[in-house]
Structure 1
C-alpha cells in the first residue's frame, strides 16, 4: 500500500468533462465570489509543489471529524449532509465546473458554513490529505464508464482506492451509491483489496440519505439504486 513518502505523479490522465453548457450569470457570480474562499489552499501542485499535507484544522477552525464527497454532482447530498451534521467538516471534489457552480448556489441558499470545495480531480486532493484524517467518504452515482475497455477509468480501481484508504482512519465508513449493476460488481471486487471490509450491500438507502437528481433519473429510467457500505480495515 502507498505510504506517506510515495511521490504523486506530476501528470495524470483525466477522463470526463471539465465544463458543459453555458453557466448562468448568477452561477458565474458564485464562482467569482465564493469559490476562492471555500477552496482549500495547497491542493494544486502549483501552490504545494512539495505535496505537504493539508492543515484541516486551519480549514475548518477546529479538529472536528472530516468527511469527503468524491464527485458531488449538483451538490444536493453534500449540502444536505452539511446541514444535518453541522459538527462535521465536509470536503467535496468535483472537476465539472457546472456542478461546482450549482453547489455554490445551494450553499448560499442553505447558509451552511462547514464545507470546503475543491474544483478538480479527487486524486490531487487525496495526495495531500493527512493519513487517517477522514472518518467518512461518499461516492454517489459516479460516472459508470459502461464500455468494458473504459472500466479502468472508474473510481473503484486501486489507483484511486489505495490513496483513499491511506487518507481514511481505521473504522472509517466508505459509502457507494450506484444504479449500475456492473459498477456494484467491480466495487465489491476492488474495494476490499484496498483495505476495506464490506458491512452493507442492498437496495435500502442509508437513514440520512437524500435522493439526488442522478438517482431520480435512474428511477425514471427503470434502474434500481444500490447502496454499498464499507469499513476501513
Structure 2
C-alpha cells in the first residue's frame, strides 16, 4: 500500500482530556519516544511497508495487542505477569498515555511498546498472522444507535484484526454494555472468530485485572461481561 492508497479515515473520540500534571508532561517528554513502536504512522512509513518486527520490537516472545488501554493498568499488569511476551498497546487519548507511562516507570516493565494513535494505522503495517492474543477492555460504547458503526466490533476493524491474528489466537472482550455484547456476538464470528466462552460478573479470566473503567461500572450498577473468541484456523 502506498501513501496515495492509504485510506482517509475519520477518527471519533477524544484525544485530550483534563490538563496534564507536571509529572505526566515529564513522562510524555522523556519516555514516549523510547516506547513508541516505530514505523507505524504515515509520516514514519509513507509507503505503508509491513513492519519488520524483529527490528521494530526485538524479542522472541509471542506478540500481544491491547486496543485502547485506557489508564494502562491492565497492560502493565499483563506485561509484568508475562515477561517473555511482547505487548503492543494502542491508545490515542493523551491523558491515558501519560497515565500508562507513569505506571511503566513504577513497574519497571520493558516488554511493551505504544502506538499513541488509531489502531487501524497499526493494522495497515502489521504482518499477517503475527498476533497471538488481543485485549479489548471496556471500549467506547457509542450508545446512540446512529453511532454503532463507530464501535470497534464492526467490519472496518474486525477484518484487519482477523488478518493480523494467527490461527488459534485469543481475542478477549470486556464490556459493561449489554448492547455492545449483542453487537460483539453478531459481528465478531463472521470476521473469522469462534466464541469460546461468555461469562458475567465474578467469572472473569484467571489473570484479569479489574480496570478503573470496570470499577466505575460496578459503582454505577452495571454488570461486566467477559467474552473470549478464538481465531479460526
For the criterion TM > 0.5, the same-fold answer is yes
Counterpart selection for 2:46 from 35, 46, 49? 49
- Matched with 2:216 is 217
Distance in structure 2 (CA, Å) of the matches to 1:19 and 1:8: 29
Q: CA deviation at 1:57?
A: 1.7
- RMSD of aligned alpha carbons: 1.3
Question: What is the aligned length?
Answer: 229
- 1:138 matches 2:135: yes
Name the CA distance, whole Å, in 1 between partners of 2:170 and 2:144. 29
Structure 1 match to 2:20? 23
SS at match of 1:175: strand
Aligned to 1:199: 196
What is the aligned partner in structure 2 of residue 208 from structure 1? 207
Contact 2:37 2:57 in 1 (8 A): no
- CA shift, 1:61, in A, is 2.2
1:71 counterpart (68, 72, 75): 68
1:85 aligns with 2:82: yes
Deviation, structure 1 residue 46: 1.2
- How far 1:10 moved relative to its partner? 3.4
Structure 2 contact 39–56 (Cα < 8 Å) conserved: no
CA contact (8 A) 2:59 2:86 kept: no
Provide the C-alpha distance between the structure 2 equivalents of 1:178 and 1:191, rounded to a whole number of angstroms: 14
User: Could you say if the C-alpha distance between residues 8 and 97 of structure 1 is closer, same or farther in structure 2, counting changes exceeding 3 Å?
Assistant: farther
Tell me which residue corresponds to 2:94.
97
For 2:102 and 2:215, how far apart are their aligned partners in 1? 20
Give secondary structure in 1 for the equivalent of 2:104: helix
Distance in 1, matches of 2:32 and 2:110, equals: 13
Deviations along 1:59-118, whole A, 9 cap, x unmatched? 332232000000000000000000000000000000000000000000000000000001
Deviation of the 1:50 alpha carbon = 1.1
- Match of 1:228, SS? strand
What does residue 32 of structure 2 align with? 35
Q: Does 1:168 align with 2:170?
A: no
2:103 is matched with 106
1:8 Cα deviation (Å)?
Answer: 6.0
For residue 208 of structure 2, give the secondary structure of its aligned residue in structure 1: coil
Secondary structure of 1:21's counterpart equals: coil
Which consecutive unaligned segments of at least 5 residues does structure 2 have?
none
Conserved? CA contact 1:8–1:127, under 8 Å: no
